[in-house]
Structure 1
């Protein structure tokens, strides 16, 4: 029987030396990075964690967060097909919400409408909205007049966002299982920015 590994444990495979690939081939340091990342994800699954659909852009952002890039940001974004400002936005999402924060920043989904309405009601019951009305679109609740948005993640956390001067929604610190708390975090982030 194989020993189980838990998140945070050392993964024996990730500690092994990787032989130099035949030339031309990937850099051994890159192979070690990818093998370690894959081993940590596999350990999470073995420990009962849930698997998400693979997304190369989410993986890229998580890998960059774990290991500072050796290449210039412009080269990375060009290869990934995104703007440098988009990578910056996604790195904020990772800082504030890790893997699930990045997924929530990138992907919308269709939760049950009742869950979204309960969230709107929770926010209205706990906050003075001063005329800001809620617009629900998929897993996003937007308060355009307040320049804030909360997004429901696939694991039940609500993630706060603020509207930037460039017209993009930027992630903010303070995700929560409680929609009104994520809304409060978005308002606080907006106020700090102004």
Structure 2
């Protein structure tokens, strides 16, 4: 939590951190969270409507054929509790000018007392729904809404009061009300002023960030110096180990060679994609367990993403991570193309989003953003990437059958 001597009273990091901690714990799915954060820059996201108990919007993912309506729901604080919360805030006598201007100080992130409820929600207070799935639960679209709410909270923490059923207007009204201990104004005296000085208000306006910060851009990372050939022991934590530094140096050299040779070099700052790219090289598989731990994934998930990159590059990882929208006519053509190759042609074939699933054959095909069909096979209840993506769905289906035979 930010303290008064660490940041100005108008800072909002504490409220943002409180929201992110609860939201990410409620989601409990690192892959969905990373995907949702990535959608902030890639998707067409409408205005987020923040009302008591809900934050919702309309979101159209890249190359999607239709928009989705994700919603993050937050349980409300009971009405009678709000008067106690307001009075607890007002009783502090701190930062009255900021509150009068519609801002909550970071030094009072929870306002928790013996009989006062905290304003920031807990993980159990947050649920997710979206038109992309029939049942409640986290998805990339609702994760994106959660991170967009974090941006709103950073700019104006008062939206948390709205989400929880409170009102900044009522809080400001209470602050303006004379306290019983306040002396009555002398006859003819000027009325007491509330708010902030106009010059101060304008300086705050001009000092605001032009673009909202990413929900995770809270610290400045120090870039380590290049490792020396004579380095034999690990540098002090939290710097990378010698093995990790040498891996990064080899990867940088390989990418430089590709650039000089005119070969395409993948770009981007998605840590999951980058880890999958590095681990696709068998020489780097020794780092798989550590990478999975750092990204909050299981070893099996990290291994499958590395295989997806080995077989299909970045588009293969994207197909493995989340469902994409696909044209119904393309799916119908793919169903007809794979029918002659199915071992049980009368068994059910499920078509959803960009996926064709032949459960009886233990095969699933996924249409990637690059137009290739990526084969997956059932591996003890999970879909594992298989080699052989192709523009022809029939060819990709046969590649999946071949992968099952070769196990």
Q: Distance in 2 between matches of 1:65 and 1:50?
A: 15
Residue by residue over 1:23-82, the C-alpha shift from the partner in whole angstroms, topping out at 9 and shown as x without a partner, is: 8755653653564577589x49xx7969786532111110122451564x4332111100
Unpaired segments of 5 or more residues in structure 2?
1-224, 229-234
1:113 aligns with 2:328: yes
Paired residues for 1:1-194 under 5 Å: 25=239, 29=246, 32-33=249-250, 35-36=252-253, 43=259, 54-66=269-281, 68=284, 71=287, 73-125=288-340, 127=342, 129-165=344-380, 167-193=381-407
Q: Distance in 2 between matches of 1:100 and 1:108?
A: 12
Q: Distance in 1 between matches of 2:313 and 2:236?
A: 35
Contact 2:342-2:361 within 8 A present in 1 as well: no
> Displacement of 1:183 after TM fit?
0.8
> Displacement of 1:164 after TM fit?
1.2
Contact 2:339-2:345 within 8 A present in 1 as well: no
Unpaired segments of 5 or more residues in structure 1?
1-17
> Displacement of 1:112 after TM fit?
1.3
Q: Distance in 2 between matches of 1:95 and 1:48?
A: 17
Contact 1:127-1:180 within 8 A present in 2 as well: no
**TM-score (norm. length: structure 1):** 0.71
Shift of the 48–61 alpha-carbon distance from structure 1 to 2, 3 Å rule, reads closer
Q: Distance in 2 between matches of 1:174 and 1:95?
A: 11
Contact 1:160-1:175 within 8 A present in 2 as well: yes
Q: Distance in 2 between matches of 1:34 and 1:50?
A: 11
Cα RMSD after superposing both structures: 3.3
